[in-house]
């Protein structure tokens, strides 16, 4: 049962229904039509809720607003340019939420929604940070949801983590030209978000270990935005002192892990 104190209700205007019906009509199967219709309204509702808190969103740049990704993936995401993507979900009758087989890069969490039978209102039931879900998980229970307002706490944490990473990287990068060339690439927005996600996974899950967040050759980063960093930095690598880079990278990783743990403890204490 939904706790009325932890959810929020968003009224649905006619304009949202028109777009939801348009997106749903792209699907052939009735089940898919219903899913896209509901998800579109959920994304609209989430956008309105976040805008009330002055959070920047990019609806038209979200995968859910692109015909191809909408049809192929079923992702009901809302892009927050400064933080990543939030996925909107619906629970089944048993209170279980099924996750997509593959998540978009830099997914920061999940909002569970509940649509009124007459489509006049939408409940944003609760929020669950992605960092609290096991990498191998295929679903989660609504019993694990936090109050919907905690999404703002999560966004605050992510902002603080990004500021921390930028500050520490800039300290390293100012030491000499070679370090500056190497580490500045990691300040690219997508790379920065990727580092935040790696830190959060390590802090939240004792089974996850990171020896060096900034090693371009590390196989666990294959397919991530680190590939962009490698492409932009490869021309410099042969000229860099690898020992110096390795030592600086390892020290920076250790510093960020320690300070990220402190941030998480501070948030839990609030």
| Distance of alpha carbon 219 from alpha carbon 22, whole angstroms | 42
* 3 is a domain residue: no
Same domain, 169 and 144: no
Q: Is the pLDDT of residue 202 over 50?
A: yes
Assess whether 130 and 174 both reside in one domain.
no
Q: Identify whether residues 103 and 210 lie together within a single domain.
A: no
- CB neighbours (10 Å) of residue 160? 16
Winning range, highest mean pLDDT, from 47-61, 71-85, 246-260: 47-61
Whether 221 is covered by a domain: the verdict is yes
| Cα distance between residue 242 and residue 224, in whole Å | 22
- What pLDDT was estimated at residue 94? 93
Cβ neighbours around 178 below 10 Å, total: 16
- Give me 265's structure tokens: 């403890």
Q: Is residue 1 part of a domain?
A: no
Question: 255 and 123 in one domain?
Answer: no
User: How high is the mean pLDDT of the chain?
Assistant: 85
78 shares its domain with 139:
yes
pLDDT at 231: 47
Cβ–Cβ under 8 Å, residues 178 and 240: yes
Q: CB–CB of 95/2 below 8 Å?
A: no
Same domain, 195 and 84: no
Do 14 and 139 belong to one domain?
Answer: yes
Query: For the whole model, what pTM was predicted?
Result: 0.83
Residue 28 DSSP code: S
Of 148, 175, 191, which residue constitutes the final position of a domain? 148
How many structural domains is the chain composed of?
2
Residues 159 and 212 in one domain: yes
Element (H, E) at 190: helix 189-204
Is residue 191 domain-resident?
yes
β-pairing, 84-90 with 107-115?
A: parallel
Write the pLDDT tens digit of every residue in 126-182.
999 998 988 888 999 999 999 999 999 999 999 999 999 999 998 888 878 888 888
Distance spanning both ends of the chain, measured CA to CA: 26
Same domain, 26 and 138: yes
Domain boundary among 111, 132, 148: 148
Q: What is the pLDDT of residue 235?
A: 52
Q: What is the dihedral of CA 138, 144, 150, 153, to 10 degrees?
A: -70
Pair (130, 196) in one structural domain: no
Has residue 184 been placed in a domain? yes
- Token output for 140: 């989660």
- Nearest partner of 168 among 181, 182, 187, judged by Cα: 187
The answer to whether residues 208 and 237 belong to one domain is: yes
- Of 148, 174, 191, the last residue of a domain is 148
**At 113, phi and psi to the nearest 5?**
-115, 160
Q: Which residue has the tokens 């099924």?
A: 98
Q: By residue range, what is the domain housing residue 29?
A: 8-148
- 127 plus 159 within the same structural domain: no
What's residue 1's pLDDT? 42
- Which residues, listed in sequence order, are joined to residue 89 by a DSSP beta bridge? 112
């Amino acid at each position: 049962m939904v706790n009325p104190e932890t959810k929020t209700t968003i009224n649905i205007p006619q304009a949202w229904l028109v777009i939801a019906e348009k997106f749903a009509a792209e699907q052939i199967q009735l089940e898919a039509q219903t899913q896209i219709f509901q998800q579109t309204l959920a994304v609209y509702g989430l956008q309105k809720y976040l805008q009330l808190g002055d959070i920047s969103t990019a609806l038209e740049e979200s995968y859910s607003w692109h015909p191809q990704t909408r049809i192929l993936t079923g992702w009901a995401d809302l892009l927050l340019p400064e933080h990543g993507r939030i996925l909107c979900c619906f629970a089944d009758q048993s209170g279980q939420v099924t996750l997509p087989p593959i998540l978009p890069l830099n997914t920061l969490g999940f909002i569970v929604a509940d649509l009124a039978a007459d489509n006049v209102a939408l409940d944003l039931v609760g929020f669950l940070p992605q960092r609290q879900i096991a990498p191998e998980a295929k679903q989660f229970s609504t019993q694990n949801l936090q109050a919907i307002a905690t999404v703002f706490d999560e966004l605050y944490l992510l902002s603080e983590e990004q500021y921390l990473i930028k500050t520490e990287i800039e300290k390293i990068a100012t030491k000499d030209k070679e370090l500056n060339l190497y580490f500045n690439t990691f300040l690219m927005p997508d790379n920065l978000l990727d580092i935040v996600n790696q830190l959060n996974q390590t802090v939240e899950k004792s089974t996850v270990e990171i020896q060096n967040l900034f090693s371009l050759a590390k196989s666990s980063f294959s397919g991530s935005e680190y590939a962009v960093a490698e492409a932009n930095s490869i021309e410099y690598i042969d000229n860099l002192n690898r020992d110096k880079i390795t030592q600086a990278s390892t020290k920076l990783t250790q510093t960020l892990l320690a300070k990220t743990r402190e941030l998480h403890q501070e948030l839990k204490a609030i």
